[in-house]
Amino acid sequence: MKWNTNLYDQEHDFVSKYGEDVIALLAPQKDEYILDLGCGTGDLAAIISNKGATVIGVDNSPEMIASAKNKYPAIRFEIGSADDLGYATAFDAVFSNATLHWVLEYEKAIQCIYHSLKPGGRFVAEFGGKGNVAHIIRALQSALVGNGYAALAAKKVWYFPALSEYSSLLEKQGFRVVFATHFDRSTLLKGATGIRNWLHMFGQPYLQTLPAAAIDAVLNTVEEQIRPTNFRNGSWYADYVRLRIVAIKQ
């Protein structure tokens, strides 16, 4: 999956804006050593750094890392995967925003996060939870099937766990979960083509192999199907449902 970082920053800057609330939950302290896991184009790593912490930003997208290095040359950014981190008892905290729902090897990711933390270190994250963008996903899968792409419709792209499931996985690994919440957050998308832009950005795994005419047909169908639920007062909304977690390495 190749990320368009300009489109990400310009049309989907809400990802970083909402992430600022997760930084408040993290409460980074001066001289702490913090991993920003799934750092994207680096905006949240920069905020954490400005609070006096030392940050390493990691993302598995070369495009995201190149953009982050260009924007924030004083911060260390590295290409890496959440399920294959090479750090051992290094960090005071691991922070992650809007990333872990992309990691299908989620138990490996939890193990990597745990081993990356110092004893007593904290894991603070927000990502898609059970029910996240459910209207969009159902409409997209239905549109793919209707246009002759049933195999693509069945593709597993995201991991959206229930609060109890993810908390149990953390506890099984050895974390103590001290805060967990699962909440709706309907999210405004920019412009008249908001849902199309969202699908071009985040639905790439379903769309990137299709010819242009098929993509248009699929997107037209999605718009028609979700207009009653995701379009109001002249704007498109994504039906986000988020999971927010704080856990301590015991």
In whole angstroms, give the CA distance from residue 17 to residue 25.
14
Residue 202's identity, in one-letter code, is: F
Return the pLDDT at 191: 87
What digits encode the pLDDT tens for the residues 102-146?
999 999 999 999 999 999 999 999 999 999 999 999 999 999 999
Going by C-alpha positions, the residue among 84, 67, 126, 102 that lies closest to residue 205 is 102
What is the residue type of 218? V
164-209 residue pLDDT tens:
999 999 999 999 999 999 999 999 998 899 999 999 989 999 999 9
pLDDT at position 14: 65
Boundaries of every domain in the chain: 5-132+158-188+239-249
| Amino acid at position 114, single letter | Y
Question: Does the predicted TM-score (pTM) go above 0.85?
Answer: yes
CATH of 5-132+158-188+239-249, one of 3.40.50.620, 3.40.50.10440, 3.40.50.150, 3.30.70.660: 3.40.50.150
Long-range (24+ apart) CB contacts under 8 A made by 204-207 are 204/1, 204/2, 205/1, 205/155, 205/157, 206/140, 206/144, 206/152, 206/153, 206/155, 206/157
* Per-residue pLDDT band at 13 (split at 50, 70, 90): low
Percent of the chain exceeding pLDDT 90 equals 90
Q: How confident is the model at residue 19, as a pLDDT?
A: 81
What's the DSSP call for residue 100? G
